[in-house]
Structure 1
Amino acid sequence: MEAYVHAEKPALRRRAHAIVLSHKRYSINQISDILAVTRETVSLWFDAWEADGLEGLRDKARPGRPALYDARDRERLQALVAEHPHQIKAVQARLQQETGKSSCTATVKRALKKSGYSFKRARRSLKARHDESDFRATQGLLAELQQWESRGDIELYYFDESGFSQHSAVPYAWSPVGKALEMVAFSRSRRLNVLGFLSRQGKLIYHTTTDTVTTKVVIEAFDRLLEQKSPEAFAIVVLDNASIHRSALFLRKERDWRAQRLYVLFLPTYSPELNLIEILWRKIKYEWLPVTAYQSFPSLTSHVLQVLSGYGEKYRINFI
């Protein structure tokens, strides 16, 4: 009775329940109906109880499935992590390519943890650097603009640039527990730059280039947005204070755009959380890109373009 009421595992409580019912003179058929199991299962429980008592009702230790990676694979995994400590997907892609063993990212992480590795990120915050009153005022303004957008009074876009390469600049990495990681500078890899205008209505207008993003490139992107906008519609673009957005050339163009009902709203300094397109970049880099994307730069470019072209249908962000 104690095991039936207080046992930690549901399976043990269920088997103990069968023994209690039998003691109360319920038949095997009745017990199997009550517990929704077969007669054979109930009989096996009774046999185990008679042979070993309560211990016979407990689950036996199981060896589990053989490990996917052997000692040689784990050694190679550690070597790959030393080369790419910042990008687990790139490591996974290389390991899969070399060993022919397919696995999910979680399996690779478990293998690293069993080898004494941990995953740490250097967290940095810009909160202390922004002007809190300016931040709150802009936050309230954006909330009002979103209401206008919901009523169909304006088109509201969030603009930003982001780069994609096989080498990530994110300051966290896998390393042995208790051992500080010293990262050696690597040669600059090719980079796919994406300029995007994102709306909360599921619309994404984007432009990609492997060239350096300059003010001229940004202006060309804004001009393309203007071509897609209805002449009668009011459009507001939210963006940060990057130097290429604040240049004299950009500000001169801004006056021309106003005449065509395209307005620019600069965010307060050090306030990336107010720019919703930052969510899109995180989703693409850490959730939507498959492991195979990092095997080569052409592969990365192809997969990034697939995600961008599929946004709004296959890939979505639900803004509350």
Structure 2
Amino acid sequence: MPADTITLGNVEITRVVEWSGPVRTARFVIPGSDEHTWRRNQEWLEPDFWTAADDAYHCRIQTWVLRSEGRTILVDTGVGNDRERPQVPQFAGLKTDFPDRLRAAGVAPEDVDVVVNTHIHYDHVGWNTELRDGEWVPAFPNATYLIPRADNAYFDPQGPGRGRAPRDDHERVRWEGSKLVFDDSIAPVHRSGQAVLWEGAHRIDCNLLLEAAPGHTPGSSVLTLRSGTDRAVFVGDMLHSPVQVLEPAWNSCFCDDLTLAARTRASYLSRAAELRELVIPAHWPGHGAAEIRQDGDTFAIAAWAGFPRG
């Protein structure tokens, strides 16, 4: 069993990291946050999630590999290689060994049965595809790709969400970047007939259920795991940092609907605390996931997951 693996009930979960490091400053990524909260929690936020000296936010781009009922399921697929990303130059033209890391975790491309994209952002759909002979093709030839219908409509360059012309240079770069993401990471799996659009809820098997959790994007979703007495929820970008557990009203700078994103976050944190679900965000370094407890009117970290800090 790979070192970065835990088992919940009958489901094996392995973390495969594509990229790790600092991105911008903490208060750029979580713009509503205040310096006092970061420094008050410096002892446990540093160095995994934040460094005080430069106010750097630390994250990982990673894929969660689930083995459930005899099938291999990937939750989110990172940035990918060879991409144009004008909105995030740091991730343009990557040349990582992510496929080799998947193989080291025991996953060959043809072994993947299901790919879950929790939402359509560049760092969650990139390895949906790879570039072969100048053409983007699905990276996992036997997989079904589960894509939230609401995000598909919103990010499709031909869809109703893209109809208005960009208002300024910042919005133009973001719009052009979204079009590139759709064209190189989503459209090819539609063309191959491997994409399945879902809305509301979608059951993968008796252990795994996809649920709509909008706010970060219109189609953002969570994957709930319930197996035996064990519970977990893969929350995608609902939580970019553990400080959002302490202050659920704080959104990331990437959230689309700020009011809805905060409401959704508080709701799922409340459920996780009540049901003792392990909360597994997309981008946390360190132990990667945590159990949550109620702490008065807010929440706190009760315990870290069993993944090595790495």
Q: As a proportion of its length, which structure holds more helix? A: 1
TM-score by length of structure 1 reads: 0.24
Larger Rg over CA atoms: 1
TM-score, reference length from structure 2: 0.24
